[in-house]
Each structure stands twice: as structure tokens, then as C-alpha cells.
Structure 1
Amino acid sequence: MDGRLQVFSGNGNRALAEEIARELNTTLGRALVSTFKNDETRIRLEENVRGGDVFVIQTLCEPVDHNIIELCFMIDALRRSSAGRITAVIPYYAYARQEKKTSGREPISAKVVAKFIESAGVDRVLVIDLHAPAIEGFFEVPVDHLRAGPLLSDYLRQMALKDMVIVSPDPGGVRRAAEFRSRLNASLAIIAKQRPEDDVVNTIDMVGDVQGKTAVIVDDMISTGGTLISAADMIMERGAKEVYACAVHGLFAGDALEQIGKSSLKSVIVTNSYPVAPNAEKLGIKVLSVAPIIAEAITRIHKDLSISVMFSK
């Protein structure tokens, strides 16, 4: 790619976008990203992008649908302004838990979002820890899938927790938990759960020994916190000394932060892939930055270098 590197941002997580730009020793491209008085989204690029290698950073956080529209309109504006290549950088991909039909007469929403972004004219997509890796297949353009697991596990290693056991909150997360176990030389436990209805979780049983150990629950995202809190309670009932949790995406929907603050969890570690409330630290939330990971990936894409080597260790 011969075009100059340019980075733009929507309003989804501008603080992260600015941090990524600093890591790249550049500044965010000038653009008007706002709304008209009738609440319609307004986009106008305020600098030349002709022939540029352009990266648009947009976390699909609340308000989710509005931020999706912002991203697509920015992509269209770049395409119509003759950008050489357009990469959508999506630290958190919304609708990722709706990657399949769970009953009749439902959409596959994650695929609809992918096709919407693709139809706007994007050339490639950069994401972090998709809830369902199969979503990569919903795109016809190349998708680079980054992992924040090494960042989280390195932080846990620095904490030097004694007698650590990694806990997967459901069977679907066993592979992720096993990777943490391998990096941290810890034991493994698995919790079985069921969802009687949306955003409601009942824990059933646990396989593995947590007696007298420091448990760390590992997941890809925290939404309402229901899974996390019920899992922590079960672990403490099984005799663990204390319980920590870590996840890539900290959505903390509704009153999740307050409920976690009242729970038996010692601390919760997340990344800034999703914007976290300013008072989160007071409630025991530690936020790690994914800006260096994304900045390195952007540099590698711009220079046509391998992304996979970032996670080969």
C-alpha cells in the first residue's frame, strides 16, 4: 500500500482512538461527526484522503445502532473521497452474541451488521476478541482478529497471585480459559450454566477444585454481570480464598457496576475496548489499554506485514 497512513474516529470510543493515534505518532484526521437538529447523523471529512491508507476507529458501544450508522457513513464518505484503502477498526463488535438463530423467526443480527458495514465500502476489518469467531466468515473482505488474552494474562502474572485456578464461566469458554491456564501455569475449573431467558443466568455445577485457591474467572465480555456474580458466589461456596475476574470487553450494562461492587469479587480486570465509566476504579475495576496492540496491528497492515506473529509467542 503506497498511500499515507491516516486515522479517523467516530464518537464510539474517541478516547481510545486518540490513544491509538499517539501510539502511532500521528493525530486523528479532521472530520465533523455529529447530528443534525432532526437527529440524523452528519458526517463531513475536513481533509484530503485521496489515495490514503485510511483506518476508521469505531467501537460499537451504546448507543449501538447510532455508532454503527456513524461507522458506515464515514466509510461511505471516505470511499466517495477516493481513499486508497479503508480499514474499519472495531475494538468491540456489537450483536456478536446474535451470530445464530436460537429459535424460529429471528434474524442473524451479527451477519446483518457485517453486511451493512461491508456494503458501505470497507476494504478490510480489524476486530478484538469476537464473542463468536464464526463472525469472521460473515465478511467477504479480509478480517484481522486480534486477541487481548496475552495482555490480560501478563497483568495477572504481575499480580503474582498464589495457588491460582482459572475458571471458565461456561463450557463455551474452556478454550480461552485453557490458554490462560497454560500461560500462567495454573489449574482449571469449569462452571456449567443455563439461560432460562435473555440476560438471566442460572449456574448449575462446577468441575474442578478451587478449595483454598485464588480463583480467576476468565470471559470475553461482561454485560449485566449476572454470570460473573453467580459464578463468584459458587466459587466462594466451594472454599476459594478469593475470586478475581478478567474479560476483554467490559460493557457493564444497567446497574452491573454497582452489583459487582457489592459482590464477592475481589477485583475485575477489563480493557478499554469498550468505554468504562469514570467511577469504575472505585468499584474495583482495573482497566488495561488495548491501544498498543491496535496500533501495532495498524502499522503491520499499513506495511503489509503479518498480524499472526503478534500472537505466536
Structure 2
Amino acid sequence: MASQVLSKPAAVETTTPAKPGYKLLCGTGNRPLAEEISRQLGLELTKATCTRFADGEIFVRLDENIRGADVFIVQPTNPPAENVMELLLLIDAARRASAARITVVMPYYGYSRQDRKDQPRVAIGAKLVANMIQTAGADRVLGIDFHQHQLQGFFDIPVDHLYARPVLVNHYRKKKLADLVVVAPDVGAAKMARGFAKQLDAGFAIIDKRRPKANVAEVLNVIGDVNGHACLIVDDMIDTAGTVSEASRALIKLGAREVYVCATHALLSGPAKQRLSEAPIVEVTVTDTINIAPERRFDSLHVLSVGELLAKAIRFTHSDQSVSSLFD
């Protein structure tokens, strides 16, 4: 019987699809900042629909394929509360669309001042927001200047906590202010202000104030020499501007030559615009972590962008590089 030669089956060529890179999403909370980050990264924003039903209910839909992608969602959680809900829906939509990893880029951590139970029967809003972000499906959080550093511990997922100080310090280095003294508006801001003073090679002072009730501040004393000096008041946020406006008047009374104010987050609520416009302040410098509406802006307001800082952090996070170089 003739032997039968069995031929091997021809090899079937298989091609593994390229793994998607990273995607940048944003809600309506601060689209201008997301667009600046997009420009810095050279990456287009992923198309998404964020609309409202007739009753005000939020509808979110991702209009592009993000399966297997490393997704970064840019959305601050400042008021109105819809910003928080919109962020949660964006996270949920990304998770259900099979994103490989979801990083929440939260330039401003709303509800961060509600971080402890300092009165009977009050909610700890900062912890609740952290829980909701995790439950929605976030894998990481990237934020700037939390109100308190320990807020990072409210999350059980990795948190990269960046500082806007390099952006603000660079601005004042260019001004080359003579005889500069950096002023902490209260004891809580002392560590932040001391860091500014060290990097600007400036003096340091602290304002002793008391707060009889929320959003009301009274200056009691200034610890440090400000007579004849240019003073820079440094804080993490400006809400109703009661603290910095009263502080600026106290510094001028004590002989300060001129007063500047800088802060990372510009909430500018209620009477803030009027208070800052009427206070003896040469310039108020803030960053764009919160989108400032035109009606809240005033002549002495100067806005710096943290878009480049966040773009670097996103690029490093995506490539699994250390972001510690951006912490200072």
C-alpha cells in the first residue's frame, strides 16, 4: 500500500489589534480647562453628549469607542451639585463602555471643607463624595490643592495630589517684587505660605483671625513684620473673599507698601467680586481649576492656567511614570 503523506495545514496569520491609547473626556463643569489640557497633550477630546431632560435630569452618552482605553475624565465638583452627578454618570458610562482604567481628574474637590464632624449630627460631605466616585467605578484620582492633605485618605484608590504652587510662584518670580513678605491668612494656611516664602526668597507672616460663623472672618493680629514691605497673601481658595479683603486692610494699616493676593481655587461666591474690587489689593491671581463666569470677573483679577501641569500628570500616569516631580 502506498504511503500517504499528510501535509501540514497552512499557518493562519493572526493580527493582534493595537491596544488603544488614552482618551480624554470632560463634562460641562470646566470645558475650557479640558480644552487647554487637550491642546497641551495634542489629543482631541473624546466626543460625548451631556444634556438635560425637560425635568432637569442629566443624560450622558459617550459617542466614541473607548473599549480597552485608559480614560481620563476632567470634571471639578464645585457647585452646582449637578457637577458631581455629571462626573458620576461619566464614570459609569466609561466603565460600562469597557474602559481599561478610569482616572478622575478633579481640579477642584467640591465639599472638601466638610471633612470632619465638628458639630453634632452633621454629614461628612468630603467622605461621601469620595465614596460615590469610587462606587461609580473610578480607578484613580488626580487633584490639585485639596483643602486638607488628609482628604487623600478618604479614598481607597490611588490619589495623586498636585500643587498649583509652581504655576503661581513662576508668576511672582517674573514680577520681581522687592522686599516681599508672604502672608498666611490663618494658621491653617501657614505651611502653604511658608513654601511660597521659601521659593520666592521672601519674608513670612501669619494673620491671627477668628471666624465667628461660616464665611465671616475677623482679623485680630498680624504676627511678623510687614511695615514697608510688599505683601502676598496666599490661600488655597477664595470663596466670599471676607478673609483676604479684611487681611489686606489690616496689612495696609500696619504699613504694608502694597498687597497682592493669590489662590488656587476661585469660587468667588456672593459678595466676593465687590469685596475684592473695593479692597486695597493690587492684583488677585488665581488658577483656572474652576471656570470663572464673566459676571464674576473684575479688573484686578488675573487667571493662570494649570492645563500644562495636568497634561504632564496625565501623560506620566498613562505611561506609568512617577508624577512626584510635579508635587513641588
- TM-score class, shorter-chain normalisation, is over 0.9
How far does the alpha carbon of each residue in 1:163-216 deviate from its partner, in whole angstroms, 9 at most, with x for none?
A: 100000001111111101100111000001111111111111110000000000
For residue 52 of structure 2, what is the aligned residue in structure 1? Answer: 35
Matched residues, percent identical?
Answer: 44
For residue 147 of structure 1, what is the aligned residue in structure 2? Answer: 163
**Is residue 230 of structure 2 the alignment partner of residue 228 of structure 1?**
no
Contact 2:79–2:110 (CA<8 Å) still a contact in 1? no
Paired residue for 2:152, among 136, 141, 144?
136
Q: Report the count of equivalent residues.
A: 310
Contact 2:273–2:297 (CA<8 Å) still a contact in 1? no
Aligned counterparts of 1:106 and 1:219: Cα–Cα separation in 2? 26
Q: Which is worse superposed, 119-128 or 272-281? A: 272-281
For residue 17 of structure 1, what is the aligned residue in structure 2? Answer: 34
Paired residue for 1:6, among 3, 6, 23?
23
Aligned counterparts of 2:218 and 2:98: Cα–Cα separation in 1? 52
Which has the greater radius of gyration? Answer: 2
Paired residue for 1:238, among 243, 254, 278?
254
Supply the AA of the counterpart residue of 2:22: L
Name the TM-score, length of structure 2 as normaliser: 0.93
For residue 109 of structure 2, what is the aligned residue in structure 1? Answer: 93
Contact 2:273–2:298 (CA<8 Å) still a contact in 1? no
For residue 118 of structure 1, what is the aligned residue in structure 2? Answer: 134
SS of 1:212's equivalent in the other structure is coil
Aligned counterparts of 2:324 and 2:170: Cα–Cα separation in 1? 19
**Is residue 62 of structure 2 the alignment partner of residue 49 of structure 1?**
no
Deviation at 1:282, TM superposition (A): 4.2
For residue 98 of structure 2, what is the aligned residue in structure 1? Answer: 82
Paired residue for 1:293, among 298, 309, 314?
309
Supply the AA of the counterpart residue of 1:91: P
Supply the AA of the counterpart residue of 2:46: G
Contact 1:88–1:125 (CA<8 Å) still a contact in 2? yes
Supply the AA of the counterpart residue of 2:100: G
SS of 1:176's equivalent in the other structure is helix
Contact 1:257–1:283 (CA<8 Å) still a contact in 2? no
**Is residue 79 of structure 2 the alignment partner of residue 59 of structure 1?**
no
SS of 2:37's equivalent in the other structure is helix
Contact 1:3–1:84 (CA<8 Å) still a contact in 2? no
Deviation at 1:102, TM superposition (A): 1.5
For residue 212 of structure 1, what is the aligned residue in structure 2? Answer: 228
Aligned counterparts of 1:229 and 1:276: Cα–Cα separation in 2? 19
Q: Which is worse superposed, 66-75 or 278-287? A: 278-287
Deviation at 1:135, TM superposition (A): 0.8
**Is residue 88 of structure 2 the alignment partner of residue 72 of structure 1?**
yes
Q: Which is worse superposed, 255-264 or 212-221? A: 255-264
Aligned counterparts of 1:251 and 1:262: Cα–Cα separation in 2? 18
Name the TM-score, length of structure 1 as normaliser: 0.97
Supply the AA of the counterpart residue of 1:116: M
Aligned counterparts, 1:251-290, within 5 A: 251-278=267-294, 282-290=298-306
Aligned CA RMSD, in angstroms, stands at 1.1
For residue 204 of structure 2, what is the aligned residue in structure 1? Answer: 188
Structure 1 unpaired stretches of 5+ = none
SS of 2:35's equivalent in the other structure is helix
Q: Which is worse superposed, 271-280 or 110-119? A: 271-280
How far does the alpha carbon of each residue in 1:67-86 deviate from its partner, in whole angstroms, 9 at most, with x for none?
A: 00000011001111100000
Contact 1:169–1:217 (CA<8 Å) still a contact in 2? yes
Aligned counterparts of 2:245 and 2:264: Cα–Cα separation in 1? 17
Aligned counterparts of 2:173 and 2:109: Cα–Cα separation in 1? 28
Contact 2:173–2:200 (CA<8 Å) still a contact in 1? yes
Deviation at 1:146, TM superposition (A): 0.6
For residue 163 of structure 1, what is the aligned residue in structure 2? Answer: 179
